[in-house]
Each structure stands twice: as structure tokens, then as C-alpha cells.
């Protein structure tokens, strides 16, 4: 049976398993591993994975797709751990928030014959860990896919199909551009929210401020509740881009400060407020659409497409290198007529 | 029957009427007026008010409590319009986001014998207008009450009871402090969200940024969708305080920018991220509680308390000046044994 492996069963890895299961792709088994004791078993009981692997290498053995969903700081270790067990033609992807370092690690650690395609679901919430996982986490959200010039098209398509299968919107983007863009739309908000909450909660008036705080402050600073390990990983692996956007934000805030403080610029302020509301409402009203799938298989569902791509890789791999192992696993004989 | 009047039936005025009705205070009628044609009728049909008044003065005639829920820029005009019809002992409050100017206008426009107590519900949402009104808008949210040294205690208690009646948390605060505090917890987030969205949506890369934007950016910039008239009113009436907090925020962002950009300060950054998450989680886990009512009527419900305070004012006013008018209205005789 085609296998998908998930390494790291936290909010993202757990939600991924649940979302795949929700789509009920026929004849796919999910193996999972988490380095924290007990998480694998809980993920299996929660229905996020079928097989709890005892180590990363066992999880990826015989897998056509491997998703590394660990924190960024553990991605390199995960690559090293799975490397010996990866079969020819396997597609490896990840879910880390920054891509520059991850792609370097993939190049250094993963064997030839394995295709790495970076991935990054633009989804999350205040809580982290398997307990917060939910099948709908990715619904309608962007999921960046970051191939390089050398990535085989089929590997990109495989990951695109997986992304669609779990309800997300695949956005294919150059890894370098990805890191610049997410610095703007994800990391700038994260640092700004953290700075704002640090400023207010560090103020002497905080008890009075807290008593008056409403939903506006809560929403604006929601990202300050992000898992600090994740925020730290992001900051260290996307330093220059975040600093660049922080500089631009500080300049923009200075401009608004002048508009607010200068009585003679009330009209300009009104115009700026009107424009930003109109732009944001336009953004909310026409969110980016799912791009049409570019493959020839227009009539297939995402699940069927993914399985079709997986089967392609799977057959290549199997016939080439792992026939014995896989034959031993084909208990139910379904492979024979595929 | 005791009357409460609401001038301005938008998101706040409409929600206030619906929230009072939800509490079903016995023997209270709500009169309402909105200067926009047709809104009064819609508010009556929606169950937010009982009586649609033809002008502000008719709405407040015979009212024990008047709530001016217009935009800040119309509060002074509303005060002038209701002034001739306000009876002795009436409590007037408002819902404007800044209090300095409003209190000055109340002093200038409202007659002696009428008690003004500023109010400000810390609630709202992206949409404005009666169509967005909902009875639960104030549930659990702070509602600032801003008496001055001259405000009679009974008038403060009346507004406190109204606030509790609609499910909100009364926070009594000096008007000057109010404007400083909300500049921090409400207006700073508003301007910061607007500046951030203006920066990103004005960028050449915006189509690419928008394609990748996730729930984090949406939440962080939600306040950029605030009604621009409201934002402008707020900015013009709380200029210095907002500029002050913007300056402090810019300094704080500079500090975070250094922590992110400087490789040697990774540990300090980790500490800052850890602390801000812990502080925000503590804030979410133990939100400010409803203060215990300070009145002697500890066993009464908020509705009963409000009616009791209202009745106090009501009786004073009635016996003094409006006995004939009110006797004509006392159809059900319930007043006699209260």
C-alpha cells in the first residue's frame, strides 16, 4: 500500500494526518513519528496516523512521500535520521516557516534520487502541539511550495496534490522570494504583535490597560502568543528579511504618527484611513483563488491525483530497488491490479 | 413606564437596545432615534427599540436615562438637540471612544440638573451600522465609565447598572486617564494595523504577498477595517495620546529589530519571546473580573438595580416637574408599589 510518512506530530503534522484522513484517499497508509514519548500513540488513537513508527527511519521506509513537520531547528536532524531509509524516487517535503536554510540542509543531507520540495502551510493558531491539531486547519489557507530549478515537475505536482487534498491553496514560489514574502505577511506581524504586547504589558499602567483591553488588542497581538521556540527559529533563519520589513514598518508608522499629530494634515489622514479600509475590505472580499490544477488529470479529484503521482514514484522506486521489501508488505494484494 | 432613550442606532446603539431587551428588564421602554432615514423603523422591527422617535428631543422626552451612541463628531450636535427636552435628574451617557472633548461638550450644552457620565464600551467589529448589531456584542467586554469630581454617585451607579445589564464589565476611570489608556490599548493597535496594511498593500509585491497571507496577518490588521470616519474622529480627539504611544511603540520596535538582526543577541531574543508569550497567556487566562457591585443592593440583579436607580431619578424628576405627563403614562399602576 502506498505510504506517506509524517515526521513530527505537533499542530501541523497532526493536523496534516487528520486532514488527509478526512479526505479518505483510498489505499494510503500514514506512518508517523514524533520524538516526544507517547505522541505517536496519541496520534494513532486520534486517527491522524495509521502506523506509529519507533524511529524516523522506520517511518519513512517504503514511503512515497515524506513530510518533515518538526520545528525548523530539528529539520536537519530529521533529514539525517531518515536519509539511510529513503528509497529512490521518494518525494520529501517539509512544513517549516522559512525555506533558505531548509533547502541547504536538504541538499547536504538527502541522497541523490530523492526529490526535495520545500513546503510551508500558512496556517496556525495560538496553541501548539498534537492536542491543538484539527483536520480543518488548512482549509482555504495558502500552502507555499518552493521548488528550485532542479526540482522534478512530478515531485512538485505530488506535493501540490497533497496540499489540495488537505483543503489548502497551493502557492508555488521561489524559496528566496518565499522568505522575503513571509517576512512581510507573517514574521513582521509576529514581531510587531510581540513588541506591542511587550510594550503594553511592561508599562506601569498595565493593570489599568488590561482592564480596558478589548477584542481589538487581543486580535492585534494574537501572534505574540506564538510558541516562542517557533518564533525564535523563524527569527534566526530569516534575520535580514525580517529586519528589512521592520525598518519599512517603522518608517510607515512614523508617517502615520505625523498624520495623526499634525492638525493641518487631518484631511490627508482621513484619506489614508479611507484607503486602507477600502484596500483591506477588497482583500477580504476577493481572496486569492485556488489556481486551476495544471496537470492533464483535470477530471481526477485531488486525492486521486495525489495517489496517481504517488503511484508513479512508487512504481519507479519499487521496481528499481525495493521490490522484495514491498512484496513482503503487500498483504492485501490490492497492488497487483493497480 | 420608565424610559431609556438611545440616540444613534448604529452598531453600538442597536446592539445596546438588543442587549437590554435580551435582559428583559420589566417595565422599561426604549425610545430611539437615528438621523439616517429608515434606521429607526428597522431598529424597532429588529426589536432594538420600542418607540421610533421623530427627532432626538422627542426620544429623550420623559427619559430617565439617555445614551448618545452617535459618532463622536455628532455628539455635540446630539447634546444640543436633546438639551431642551431633558428633564431634571435625567442621566445622560454616551459611547464615544474618547472622552475629553465629549465631557467639555456636555458641560457646555447640557442643562443643570442633568447628570452626564461618559461611557465607552470596549467592543466593536469590522462591520458597522445597525445591520451588524447583536445582543451579545458587549458580553464580557470592558465598558469604561468616566465620571468627573462633580458627577453624583447615583448617576454613576445608574450607568454601572446599565453596563452590567447588557453583559459588560464596568470599569470606572478618570476621563483623562481613559483617553491615555485607550490610546494604548485601542488607538495604537488601530493605527499600527492601518500602517501595516497600508505598507503591505502599497508594496509592489502585494499580489504575491496577498496570495501567501494567512490568518495571522488578517488578525493583526483587523482594525485597519474600522469605519474610517470613526478612526478619524478618534485620531482628531486623542491626538497627543496616540502620538505618545506611537513614539513608544516605534522605540520598542527598534529594540526588537536589534534583537532580531544582531546574531550575538539570539539568547536575549529567545528570552523576550518567551516572556511576551507567557505574559499574554497569563492575560488571556485570567481576564479582569467583573468588579463586585458596590451598592447596598447586593441581592438584586443588574436589571433590578438599574431599574431601582432609574426609578430613583425618575421619581425625583416626576414629582418635581413632569407629574402630569407621567401620570398620564402610568397605565399599569405598577409604579405605586415600587
pLDDT in tens, A190-235: 999 999 999 999 999 999 999 999 999 999 999 999 999 999 999 9
Report how far apart, in Å, the C-alpha atoms of A338 and of each of A27, A165, A316 are: 11, 21, 13
pTM (predicted TM-score): 0.83
pLDDT 10s digits, A141-170:
999 999 999 999 999 999 999 999 999 999
**First and final C-alpha spacing in chain B:** 12
pLDDT 10s digits, A236-264:
999 999 999 999 999 999 999 999 999 99
pLDDT 10s digits, A278-314:
999 999 988 665 444 444 444 456 666 666 666 555 4
Q: Which residues of B touch A163 (CB under 8 A)?
A: none
pLDDT 10s digits, B263-320:
999 999 999 999 999 999 999 988 665 444 444 444 456 666 666 666 555 444 433 4
Question: What's the pLDDT score for residue B26?
Answer: 82
Question: What's the pLDDT score for residue B287?
Answer: 65
Question: What's the pLDDT score for residue B127?
Answer: 83
Where helices occur in A202-265 by DSSP H, the ranges are: 206-212, 215-220, 228-237, 239-261
Q: Which of B177, B183, B256 to mutate to test the interface with A (most CBs of A within 10 A)?
A: B256
Q: Rounded to whole angstroms, how far apart are CA atoms A104 and A86?
A: 18
Q: Rounded to whole angstroms, how far apart are CA atoms A278 and A274?
A: 6
Q: Rounded to whole angstroms, how far apart are CA atoms B183 and A236?
A: 33
Query: Which residue of B210, B212, B228 is in closest CB contact with A273?
Result: B228
Report how far apart, in Å, the C-alpha atoms of B79 and of each of A44, A336, B91, B111, B120 are: 65, 84, 13, 10, 17
- Lowest mean pLDDT of A30-39, B21-30, B174-183, B248-257, name the range: B21-30
Question: What's the pLDDT score for residue A190?
Answer: 97
Closest Cα in chain B, distance from residue A86 (Å): 31
Average pLDDT over chain A reads 88
Look at phi and psi of residue B24 and say left if phi exceeds 0, alpha if psi is from -120 to 50, else beta: left
Q: For chain B, what's the residue count?
A: 338
Q: Rounded to whole angstroms, how far apart are CA atoms B201 and B194?
A: 10
Query: Looking at this predicted complex, what is its ipTM?
Result: 0.82
Helix (H, G, I), strand (E, B) or coil at B31: strand
- Extract the runs of DSSP E, i.e. beta strands, from A123-236: 142-146, 169-172
Contact B197 A276 (CB under 8 A): yes
Question: What's the pLDDT score for residue A27?
Answer: 85
Question: What's the pLDDT score for residue B128?
Answer: 87
Query: Which residue of B177, B254, B279 is in closest CB contact with A201?
Result: B279
pLDDT 10s digits, B243-252:
999 999 999 9
pLDDT 10s digits, B318-335:
334 333 333 334 344 333
Query: Which residue of A222, A236, A242 is in closest CB contact with B266?
Result: A236
Average pLDDT over chain B reads 88
Amino acid at each position: 500500500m502506498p505510504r506517506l510518512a509524517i515526521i513530527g506530530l505537533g499542530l501541523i503534522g497532526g493536523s496534516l494526518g487528520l486532514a488527509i484522513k478526512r479526505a479518505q484517499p483510498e489505499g494510503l497508509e500514514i506512518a508517523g513519528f514524533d520524538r516526544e514519548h507517547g505522541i505517536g500513540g496519541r496520534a494513532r488513537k486520534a486517527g491522524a496516523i495509521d502506523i506509529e513508527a519507533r524511529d524516523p527511519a522506520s517511518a519513512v521506509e517504503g514511503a512515497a512521500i515524506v513530510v518533515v513537520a518538526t520545528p525548523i531547528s530539528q529539520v536537519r536532524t530529521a533529514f539525517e535520521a531518515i536519509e539511510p531509509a529513503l528509497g529512490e524516487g521518494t518525494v520529501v517535503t517539509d512544513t517549516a516557516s522559512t525555506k533558505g536554510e531548509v533547502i541547504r540542509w536538504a541538499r547536504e543531507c538527502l541522497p541523490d534520487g530523492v526529490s526535495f520540495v520545500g513546503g510551508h502551510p500558512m496556517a496556525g493558531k495560538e496553541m501548539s502541539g498534537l492536542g491543538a491539531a484539527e483536520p480543518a486547519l488548512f482549509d482555504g489557507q495558502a500552502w507555499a511550495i518552493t521548488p528550485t530549478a532542479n526540482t522534478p515537475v512530478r515531485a512538485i505536482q505530488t506535493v501540490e496534490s497533497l496540499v489540495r487534498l488537505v483543503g489548502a491553496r497551493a502557492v508555488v514560489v521561489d524559496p528566496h522570494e518565499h522568505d522575503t514574502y513571509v517576512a512581510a505577511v507573517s514574521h513582521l506581524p509576529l514581531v510587531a504583535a510581540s513588541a506591542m504586547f511587550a510594550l503594553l504589558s511592561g508599562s506601569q499602567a498595565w493593570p489599568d490597560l488590561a482592564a480596558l483591553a478589548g477584542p481589538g488588542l487581543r486580535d492585534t497581538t494574537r501572534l505574540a502568543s506564538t510558541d516562542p521556540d517557533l518564533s525564535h527559529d523563524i527569527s534566526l533563519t530569516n534575520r535580514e528579511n525580517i529586519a528589512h520589513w521592520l525598518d519599512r514598518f517603522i518608517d510607515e508608522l512614523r508617517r502615520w504618527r505625523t498624520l495623526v499629530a499634525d492638525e493641518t494634515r487631518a484631511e490627508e489622514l482621513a484619506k489614508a484611513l479611507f484607503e486602507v479600509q477600502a484596500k483591506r475590505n477588497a482583500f477580504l472580499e476577493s481572496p486569492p483563488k485556488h489556481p486551476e490544477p495544471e496537470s492533464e488529470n483535470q477530471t481526477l479529484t485531488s486525492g486521486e491525483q495525489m495517489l496517481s503521482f504517488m503511484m508513479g514514484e512508487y512504481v519507479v522506486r519499487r521496481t528499481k530497488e525495493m521490490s522484495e521489501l514491498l512484496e513482503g508488505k503487500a498483504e492485501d494484494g490490492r497492488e497487483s491490479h493497480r
